[in-house]
Chains A and B, each alone.
Chain A
Amino acid sequence: MDILEETVSKVVQIKPRKGESILTYYLCVYQEGDDIRGELSLATQTSCGYLAKFGERIFIIGGEAGGTDKILRKSDFDQSEFDIPISRKNKKKK
């Protein structure tokens, strides 16, 4: 991860003044190949060029360009010892 530029480091240390309601969120983007991820952060402090403290962090999880990987959960009940075949008759909504 790249270290923040000095100007940014200074900005994020500025907290809203008393009575003001404007907050600044930073959109941080990470890209590796087709995989893109992001984070929308309300940073309140930096340390050694990194965001160190946050008021709020919102993670934006990206997917591969070909589509998102299906995450199977323990409670995914498609798995059954009994054969329960279900198939779509047609794709068009009637």
Chain B
Amino acid sequence: MKFNATRLGTARQRRMLNKKGFADLVGVTPHTASRWEAGATIPDEEWVEKIASCLGFPKKFFFGEDVDIPNAKMVSFRSQTSMTAARRDAALSAGSLGFLIVDWVDERFDLPDENVPDLSDYSPEIAALMLRQDWGLGEKAISNMVHLLESKGVRVFSLAENSKKVNAFSLWRDDTPFVFLNTIKTAENSRFDAAHELGHLALHRDGLTTGRKAEEEANRFASHLLIPQSDLLSFRKPHYSIEWLIGLKARWKVSLAALCYRMHKEEFLSDWRYRDLCIQIRVRFKDTEPEGIERERSVVWSKVMKALWSERLTQLDIAKDLALPEEEVSALIFGLLSEANPPSGANTERKFSVIKNERYT
């Protein structure tokens, strides 16, 4: 296998380097770096060592097959205005690495089949209603958005970006839907992101609606999916205290801000009252969520990793097989796992586990 130029581009973007920054880091001219990445010339052994070392990727990574690169035009990012091109490209290249991991898992496991309907002909509100009917959800609250997505064949990853500026993104790769979730946000926000990304998958598969309009539609879809209108109507009353709203939001596992926003849209709250509540929320809770819920985790990754652990395989083996940095594999998978490490009892040959009693130390 010869040096793969597309993999160099993926690794460079993953490290948020532009071509000049990469050239400076490695110690070559930007012209040379560009020719490497275009496949016009191939770096010799010594330079490959240097590239691998500078980018923090195993040398073997650069000698694999072409990687699929998500089409930026077909990917909807939230918070696009505050996101730099470098950050967007880094997130997309994380998507490429996610594809490699899914291919590795698909070779070894049968995962749920894709079942996300194309609802691009409908308004977000009607689409949310139709999706609930199609999936047999009725009007009840969705207990776990990540589980729901996974049960319908969506491959869910945690976003490796340690930044709130990249909220989440989703895309179709052939007939497989992918969602990448930011797990450093509150659990309620991640849950809303999951519903928002589902909106993109169901409404914007054709790629015809993009930008702010697509984001606004996905938000409406998410709100109506998580809080069915008929269910919300039964809670209409003359006055809403913030404490009462905190109690009510638990019904749908949404953030207080998302509930107030929706109630304002439905004209449960006057403009004046809504503004007052927004100020109260900002002052009292800042970036935290009152009465927060437990973060939603992945069943697919939990089951896959448990099966691998029982065969003495860990994320290290996945990383080694795919020639990826271990931290990339961990970041994409373990943000959604309840257990970050193999359980001590995973291997039945191990009869003992050691527990240090801190009380006596």
Q: Give which listed residue, B110, B299, B348, contacts A89 with CB less than 8 A.
A: B110
Interchain CB contact under 8 A, A57 and B313: no
Interchain CB contact under 8 A, B302 and A56: no
A91 to B312, CA, bound (A): 12
Interchain CB contact under 8 A, B109 and A86: yes
- Measured as residues with beta carbon below 8 angstroms from the partner, the interface class of chain A is 35 or more
**B111 at interface by CB-CB < 8 Å:** yes
Contacts of B302 in A (CB 8 A): 76-78
A59 to B350, CA, bound (A): 15
**B298 at interface by CB-CB < 8 Å:** yes
Contacts of A61 in B (CB 8 A): 352-353, 355
A59 to B360, CA, bound (A): 12
Q: Give which listed residue, B151, B351, B353, contacts A84 with CB less than 8 A.
A: B151
A90 to B110, CA, bound (A): 10
Known: A56-B357, A77-B299. A85 touches B110 (CB 8 A): yes
Q: List which B325-340 residues lie within 8 A (CB) of chain A.
A: 338-339
Number of A-B contacts (CB under 8 A): 110
Q: Give which listed residue, A60, A68, A80, contacts B144 with CB less than 8 A.
A: A80
SS class, residues of chain A in contact with chain B: loop
Interchain CB contact under 8 A, A80 and B352: no
Q: Which of B108, B302, B345, B360 has the most CB of A within 10 A?
A: B360
**A54 at interface by CB-CB < 8 Å:** yes
Residue of A nearest to B104 (CB): A94
Q: List which B76-111 residues lie within 8 A (CB) of chain A.
A: 107-111
Interchain CB contact under 8 A, B109 and A84: no
Interchain CB contact under 8 A, B110 and A84: no
Known: A55-B360, A83-B151. A77 touches B352 (CB 8 A): no
Interchain CB contact under 8 A, A81 and B143: yes
**A36 at interface by CB-CB < 8 Å:** yes
Interchain CB contact under 8 A, A56 and B356: yes
Interface size on B, residues (CB 8 A): 40
A39 to B65, CA, bound (A): 52
Interchain CB contact under 8 A, B107 and A77: no
Residue of B nearest to A79 (CB): B299
Return A59 CB to nearest CB of chain B, in Å.
Answer: 5
Interchain CB contact under 8 A, A62 and B357: no
Report A47-64 CB contacts with B as 1/0, cut-off 8 Å: 000000011111111110
Q: Give which listed residue, B108, B148, B338, B356, contacts A77 with CB less than 8 A.
A: B338
Q: Give which listed residue, B110, B148, B304, B360, contacts A54 with CB less than 8 A.
A: B360
**A87 at interface by CB-CB < 8 Å:** yes
Residue of B nearest to A70 (CB): B345
Q: Which of A57, A68, A70, A76 has the most CB of B within 10 A?
A: A68
Contacts of B348 in A (CB 8 A): 67-68
A60 to B304, CA, bound (A): 28
Interchain CB contact under 8 A, B112 and A84: yes
Interchain CB contact under 8 A, B354 and A82: no
**A38 at interface by CB-CB < 8 Å:** yes
A67 to B348, CA, bound (A): 5
**A71 at interface by CB-CB < 8 Å:** yes
Interchain CB contact under 8 A, B147 and A80: yes
Contacts of B166 in A (CB 8 A): none
Contacts of A56 in B (CB 8 A): 356-357, 360-361
Contacts of A91 in B (CB 8 A): 311
**A93 at interface by CB-CB < 8 Å:** yes
Residues of A within 8 A of B (CB): 36, 38, 40, 42, 54-63, 67-71, 73, 75-78, 80-91, 93-94
Contacts A56-B361, A63-B352, A80-B143 supplied; 9 other A-B pairs, CB < 8 Å: A54-B360, A67-B348, A68-B350, A81-B143, A82-B151, A82-B299, A84-B147, A93-B311, A93-B313
Can you give 16 A-B contacts (C-beta < 8 A)? A36-B351, A58-B355, A59-B354, A62-B351, A63-B345, A63-B351, A75-B297, A77-B147, A78-B299, A80-B147, A81-B144, A82-B150, A84-B299, A86-B110, A86-B303, A87-B109
Residues of B within 8 A of A (CB): 107-112, 143-144, 147-148, 150-151, 294, 297-300, 302-304, 306-307, 311, 313, 317, 338-339, 345, 348, 350-357, 359-361
